[in-house]
A and B are shown apart, each in its own frame.
Chain A
């Protein structure tokens, strides 16, 4: 079974600074997908960025980028130019590329962006 570890329960960053959230996972599959979702306080889960494991190039989405290291099973999220609206819980979630499509979520990292 897949497991996901987010080793930073809480992090804080100043507005406009850069922060990196870590995620490691365990899987026996060779092809899969990886996702980062954010969940603002009392609001719904929103997709931040996704990565296909067979692609070596790291995904980028505006201020969000990932550092995907397949051999190390590491999938960190970098947020550049942090904004107050980035304050949220962030969840790392791998997903099988095969018939079982469930997301396996980590425990999350609570990020606070301060002015």
Chain B
């Protein structure tokens, strides 16, 4: 068990560019979550998948954001036409629907939009 991994760890981009982040959950975990965390704040929920189905999306997830989990394993989060307000840490978590269904977090991808 190698834990949740995220790639890249840091991304600097210019306003208007598209970016894509990847999350690899803990093996066998069927649920995967994306959160966004701005400086000095707690994480805010963006979206979650059970297997390959996207079951909930936050109102924070504007039309410029899209997430996929094509085979129920890794997930990608794409932001199109980035804005400076998108600068944040993007956290991924995974869980298994057994017991308390505890979420385990990855190290995050820090996005800076110039």
Listed in ascending order, the chain A residues whose CB lies under 8 Å from chain B are: 4, 33, 35, 37, 43-47, 50, 52, 91, 93, 95, 99-108
B44 beta carbon closer than 8 Å to chain A: yes
Contact check: which of A50, A95, A106 meets B42 at CB < 8 Å?
A106
Whether B104 and A102, one on each chain, are in contact in the complex, defined by CB atoms closer than 8 angstroms, is no
Whether A102 and B100, one on each chain, are in contact in the complex, defined by CB atoms closer than 8 angstroms, is no
- Interface size bracket, B side: 20 to 34
Of A52, A100, A105, most B-chain CB atoms within 10 Å? A105
Q: Which residues of B contact A52 (CB under 8 A)?
A: 100
B72 beta carbon closer than 8 Å to chain A: no
Whether B31 and A101, one on each chain, are in contact in the complex, defined by CB atoms closer than 8 angstroms, is yes
Contact check: which of A45, A99, A104 meets B45 at CB < 8 Å?
A104
Complex Cα spacing A76 to B104, Å: 21
Shortest distance between the CB of B114 and any CB in chain A (Å): 21
- A4 to chain B: closest residue by CB: B42
Whether B42 and A108, one on each chain, are in contact in the complex, defined by CB atoms closer than 8 angstroms, is yes
Q: A108-B41, A108-B42 are in contact. Are A102 and B107 (CB under 8 A)?
A: no
